[in-house]
Chain A
Amino acid sequence: MTARLSRRQFVFTVGGSFAACSIGGCAQAPTAAALVDRIKRQVGIPWNDTTYRDTFKVGRPDTAVRGVASTFMTSYDVVRKAHAAGLNFIVTHAPTFWSDGDVVADLQGDALYDVKRRFVEANGMVIWRFHDHWHARKPDGIIVGWNRALGWDHFVAPDNDRLYVIPETTLGAVAAHVARVLRTRSVRMVGDPAMRVRRVARGAHTLVGNMAAMPSADALLVSEAREWDSIEYARDTVASGQAKGIVLISHEAGEEAGMDECARWLRAFITDVPVHFISTTDVLWTPGA
């Protein structure tokens, strides 16, 4: 994980703090807040200061950063892996404390919250969420990573960046491809696996998003949606006689390639400390599959 160093430059620890040094002297390690300022300058769209999502979640923004981890979700597992890798600033796409707003008021006295928060604080770590602006970038950073992971970059429809026109195949084959390239064992499907598929649209978490995407496509590729609305809508769509289907994958399988892409993007302007992607890992499996 160590950054590539020139002969005149090395990294050492003094009392737990890091400094990058050269013959000219030691430059202080950047703080997490300074790195966020760099991200804001680089993101290429006006920064929305009213977002409740893209903010610091736990840890001190003035923490000296030894290394950056980009991840889909700061699960406790990811936090521990980042610490073990010496990366103390985590850029996460999804929440840390189990709600969209990371609302911790409901977690006072919650033992798991205490364990996770104390691990972050005791190890001098800091977590910052990067969701809205990474999606709002042109093109959407999550979709850039997703297209690359699927190997579908060159299938994107010219007039609709949420639609892929792929060589004709079946719904079942799309599900198998997605399972293989996204390394997920919990793929579910609505519709006839033998159905012919050529136009695949990227779906949404919401019913409105999936209703909007359905007319343009043979099949939707959906990364987490509610079973009572989007999935039942798909079942009824099939039952109504339309040749349609859904391939349903977990939230992290659908989005974490976009945070691998984020690590690549961060490395272009964070060169003073190492930047690594840490997989959240879709650990769900389906029995009998």
Chain B
Amino acid sequence: MPATLTADQIGERIRARVAPAWDPAAGDGLQVGGAETIVTGIVTAWTPSIDILRAAVAARANLIVSRECPFWSREAEVKGYSGAGRTATRADMTKDATFAFKQQYIDEHRLVLWRLSSNWDARVAAHPVAALARALGWEAFAREPAGRYAVEATTIGALADTIRRRFSARGLRVLGAPGAPISTIALARGLLLVADVQKILRAGDVDLFVAGEPVEWEAYPYIADLVTAGRAKGMILLGHAVSEEPELAEAATWLETLVPEVPVRHLPAGEPFA
């Protein structure tokens, strides 16, 4: 007899098991679609882009578990950085052609979009970049505290090139002299805030920051100033998607054991850049 699990039944398992305690205020959980929808397959993806939704439909999956929000804006949470400006409202959305297209696609295919972000972070709080480090092949270089790595002596340019090839990434950006020698690295994913950099530095200086996305009036100039002051050599920016993608692969592996009745797969969103 085929399994008849609803999106909400699967959601209940996630809520019960993903973290020590589910935080209902974090904006995670059902975003779009019917909670009573019978789930035919689960897809994990960094962001539920239209491309991902199409690939999910092609794979006969109708529950998409993602880190980012269906309609781009993180409405339900504080943005965490200064000068963020006004958040998009429902009124902004309803007059937008891309919103209308995506909403219609979701409705027509009876998709359920479910967000798993802050509660996932609580699950991996002790080692937030472990998945990214595994994707980089850096497990053997891990040092204390978590997020610090001592790679074999190299240069910023050589490392940037290695990472570019490993992730087939077109949108990497690099700060620092290509020939600058580096060994000690702080690895971070997602949005990098000044407070994150300060926390890293409290455990001692590093040669290089490898991170996702800094705000260019906050953590980016902070690290540029560190380089000017001679306290670091540079920074490699992976891009937000590239830096978080490996975790969605691990989320799929975890969901396979949590929901054995339904096929689960990770679909790489890929970086958005041409």
| Chain A residues at the B interface, C-beta cutoff of 8 Å | 73, 75-77, 80, 94-95, 98-101, 103, 106, 110-112, 115-116, 186, 188-193, 204-209, 211-212, 214-215, 224, 226-237, 239-242, 248, 250-252, 283-288
Task: Tell me, rounded to whole Å, the shortest Cβ–Cβ distance linking B62 to chain A.
Answer: 19
8 Å CB interface, B176-211 against A: 178, 194-195, 198, 201
| Chain B residues at the A interface, C-beta cutoff of 8 Å | 47, 49-51, 54, 68-69, 72-74, 82-88, 92, 96-98, 101-102, 157, 160-161, 164, 170-175, 178, 194-195, 198, 201, 213, 216-219, 221-222, 224-226, 228-229, 231, 237, 239-241, 272-274
7 inter-chain pairs at a CB distance below 8 angstroms, sorted by A residue, are A98-B221, A106-B195, A186-B173, A189-B273, A206-B86, A227-B239, A288-B164
Chain A residues in 8 Å Cβ range of B92: 208, 211-212
Contact A233 B72 (CB under 8 A): yes
> Of A209, A227, A235, which contacts B85 at CB under 8 A?
A209
Kindly state the separation between the CA atoms of A242 and B99 in the bound complex, as whole angstroms: 12
Contact A284 B173 (CB under 8 A): yes
Known: A110-B198, A228-B68, A240-B97. Is A288-B161 also a contact (CB below 8 A)? yes
Closest to A226 in B: B213
Kindly state the separation between the CA atoms of A212 and B95 in the bound complex, as whole angstroms: 10
Chain A residues in 8 Å Cβ range of B170: 188, 286, 288
Task: Tell me, rounded to whole Å, the shortest Cβ–Cβ distance linking A213 to chain B.
Answer: 11
Task: Tell me, rounded to whole Å, the shortest Cβ–Cβ distance linking B57 to chain A.
Answer: 13
Known: A205-B85, A224-B216, A239-B51. 16 other contacts (CB 8 A): A75-B225, A80-B228, A100-B217, A112-B222, A188-B170, A192-B274, A206-B85, A208-B87, A214-B98, A227-B240, A235-B49, A236-B102, A240-B50, A242-B97, A284-B173, A286-B173
Task: Tell me, rounded to whole Å, the shortest Cβ–Cβ distance linking A250 to chain B.
Answer: 6
Closest to A281 in B: B224
Contact B217 A240 (CB under 8 A): no
Q: Lowest 5 CB-CB distances: which A-B pairs, in order?
A: A100-B83, A100-B82, A239-B50, A251-B216, A206-B85
> Of A73, A103, A228, A285, which contacts B47 at CB under 8 A?
A228
Contact A76 B228 (CB under 8 A): yes
> Of A99, A227, A237, which contacts B98 at CB under 8 A?
A237
Kindly state the separation between the CA atoms of A207 and B213 in the bound complex, as whole angstroms: 16
Contact B229 A115 (CB under 8 A): yes
Most buried by A among B82, B85, B96, B98: B98
Kindly state the separation between the CA atoms of A106 and B197 in the bound complex, as whole angstroms: 13
Chain A residues in 8 Å Cβ range of B102: 236, 240
Contact B228 A236 (CB under 8 A): no
Kindly state the separation between the CA atoms of A234 and B98 in the bound complex, as whole angstroms: 9
Chain B residues in 8 Å Cβ range of A241: 101
Closest to A194 in B: B274
Task: Tell me, rounded to whole Å, the shortest Cβ–Cβ distance linking B140 to chain A.
Answer: 24
Task: Tell me, rounded to whole Å, the shortest Cβ–Cβ distance linking B265 to chain A.
Answer: 20
Kindly state the separation between the CA atoms of A103 and B221 in the bound complex, as whole angstroms: 15
Contact A235 B272 (CB under 8 A): yes
Task: Tell me, rounded to whole Å, the shortest Cβ–Cβ distance linking B135 to chain A.
Answer: 18
> Of A77, A193, A208, A287, which contacts B157 at CB under 8 A?
A287
Kindly state the separation between the CA atoms of A100 and B69 in the bound complex, as whole angstroms: 25
Chain A residues in 8 Å Cβ range of B83: 99-101, 205
Contact B86 A234 (CB under 8 A): no
Most buried by A among B51, B54, B83, B170: B83
Kindly state the separation between the CA atoms of A106 and B124 in the bound complex, as whole angstroms: 27
Contact A215 B85 (CB under 8 A): no
Kindly state the separation between the CA atoms of A226 and B68 in the bound complex, as whole angstroms: 12
> Of B73, B174, B219, which contacts A287 at CB under 8 A?
B174
Chain A residues in 8 Å Cβ range of B157: 287
> Of B86, B87, B88, B274, which contacts A190 at CB under 8 A?
B274
Task: Tell me, rounded to whole Å, the shortest Cβ–Cβ distance linking B157 to chain A.
Answer: 7
Kindly state the separation between the CA atoms of A284 and B239 in the bound complex, as whole angstroms: 13
Known: A207-B72, A235-B51. Is A240-B101 also a contact (CB below 8 A)? yes
Known: A73-B221, A240-B98, A251-B217. Is A229-B73 also a contact (CB below 8 A)? yes
Kindly state the separation between the CA atoms of A98 and B223 in the bound complex, as whole angstroms: 10
Kindly state the separation between the CA atoms of A112 and B161 in the bound complex, as whole angstroms: 30
Known: A100-B83, A227-B240, A236-B98. Is A283-B224 also a contact (CB below 8 A)? yes
Kindly state the separation between the CA atoms of A287 and B217 in the bound complex, as whole angstroms: 23
Chain A residues in 8 Å Cβ range of B74: 228-229
Kindly state the separation between the CA atoms of A257 and B226 in the bound complex, as whole angstroms: 25
Closest to B79 in A: A226
Contact A285 B229 (CB under 8 A): no
Contact A239 B222 (CB under 8 A): no
Closest to A207 in B: B88
Task: Tell me, rounded to whole Å, the shortest Cβ–Cβ distance linking A130 to chain B.
Answer: 15
Closest to B165 in A: A288
Kindly state the separation between the CA atoms of A251 and B87 in the bound complex, as whole angstroms: 20
Chain B residues in 8 Å Cβ range of A110: 198
